[in-house]
């Protein structure tokens, strides 16, 4: 049929795997198979994904509350799971503006339906891919909603590990950062196998067998995404160690967390 969108349901997609592991229903057989195979080799996957979500909440709240950021670009949005980024920041700044981007039509369909803004704030959703920064930077939603004369909060949450080539990943992130004004912030979580390499090799293979890539990076490699920026304390650390809300979070075993996190300011 003319105009039909190919949902590519025969291959796994990171956003839908994430949705399944967190108990969502917006996923397909390939996504569930990839998740189940991953869980068999690394049962900590749900803990890891919940901690990633918690970091996104802390980071966005911190940027809105402590740094005065009232406009955000969220690259690789994922399927909506409340509270979403705009819900967090608009509690602090009701007039906050958020542009979400993703390249999965399932994500975009649900995002537009389930993520309305507050009356004073605004949200928009762009069909764009981190691998093609121009698709983000030229999107009407990006140009219309974000004022590039004022600082922006760039959120790169659990997304750069879907680009396998290190140089490409660094380049596409840098191209977006270069457009943002001084005083903008970058918050990112970056996949690593530093703490459980053998188990996570099985997770990487499970993803690959079902059509999705997964690239783990060392601490040094993860830190390169913040080159030229002013890292905030405590630097690039496992995400449950970045300014946790509750001390008990630090009791999570290191081997159960497979992402570094950091927030940095553009000078």
Tell me 121's DSSP state.
S
Q: What per-residue confidence (pLDDT) applies to 1?
A: 35
Q: Which residues contact 38 (CB under 8 A, 6 or more apart)?
A: 17, 45, 202, 203, 206, 207
- For residues 84 and 104, give the distance between their C-alpha atoms in angstroms, rounded to a whole number: 17
90 belongs to a structural domain: yes
pTM given for the model: 0.91
Identify the residue whose tokens are 């690239």.
Answer: 215
Q: What per-residue confidence (pLDDT) applies to 7?
A: 58
- Range list of β-strands (E), 17-175: 71-75, 97-102, 122-127, 153-157
3 belongs to a structural domain: no
183 belongs to a structural domain: yes
By the 8 A CB rule, do 20 and 27 touch? Answer: yes
28 belongs to a structural domain: yes
Q: What per-residue confidence (pLDDT) applies to 170?
A: 98
Each residue's pLDDT, cut to its tens digit, for the chain (267 residues) gives: 334 445 567 788 777 888 888 888 878 888 899 889 999 999 999 999 999 999 999 999 999 999 999 999 999 987 777 788 999 999 999 999 999 998 877 777 776 665 566 567 899 989 999 999 999 999 999 999 999 999 999 999 999 999 999 999 999 999 999 999 999 999 999 999 999 999 999 999 999 998 889 999 999 999 999 999 999 999 999 999 999 998 888 999 999 999 999 999 999
Q: What per-residue confidence (pLDDT) applies to 3?
A: 43
> What is the domain-level CATH number for residue 38?
3.40.50.150
Domains in the chain, number: 1
94 belongs to a structural domain: yes
- For residues 234 and 11, give the distance between their C-alpha atoms in angstroms, rounded to a whole number: 38
| CB neighbourhood size of 263 (10 A) | 26
- For residues 223 and 170, give the distance between their C-alpha atoms in angstroms, rounded to a whole number: 11
Domain that holds residue 151: 14-265
2 belongs to a structural domain: no
1 belongs to a structural domain: no
110 belongs to a structural domain: yes
């Amino acid at each position: 049929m003319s105009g039909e969108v190919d949902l590519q349901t025969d291959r796994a997609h990171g956003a839908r795997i994430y949705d399944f592991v967190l108990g969502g229903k917006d996923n397909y057989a390939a996504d569930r198979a990839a998740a189940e195979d991953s869980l068999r080799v690394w049962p900590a996957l749900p803990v890891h994904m919940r901690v990633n979500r918690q970091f996104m909440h802390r980071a966005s709240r911190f940027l809105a509350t402590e740094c005065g950021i009232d406009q955000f670009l969220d690259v690789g949005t994922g399927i909506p799971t409340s509270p979403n980024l705009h819900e967090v920041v608009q509690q602090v700044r009701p007039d906050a503006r958020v542009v979400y981007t993703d390249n999965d039509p399932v994500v975009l369909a649900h995002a537009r339906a389930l993520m309305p803004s507050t009356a004073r704030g605004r949200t928009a959703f762009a069909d764009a891919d981190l691998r093609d920064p121009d698709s983000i930077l030229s999107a009407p939603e990006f140009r219309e909603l974000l004022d590039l004369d004022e600082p922006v909060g760039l959120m790169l949450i659990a997304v750069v590990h879907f680009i396998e080539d290190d140089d490409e990943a660094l380049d596409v992130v840098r191209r977006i950062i270069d457009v943002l004004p001084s005083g903008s912030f970058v918050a990112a979580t970056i996949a690593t196998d530093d703490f459980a390499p053998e188990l996570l090799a099985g997770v990487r293979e499970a993803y690959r067998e079902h059509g999705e890539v997964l690239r783990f990076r060392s601490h040094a490699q993860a830190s390169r995404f913040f080159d030229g920026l002013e890292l905030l304390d405590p630097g690039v650390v496992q995400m449950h160690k970045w300014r946790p809300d509750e001390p008990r979070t630090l009791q999570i075993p290191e081997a159960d967390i497979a992402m570094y996190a950091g927030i940095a300011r553009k000078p």
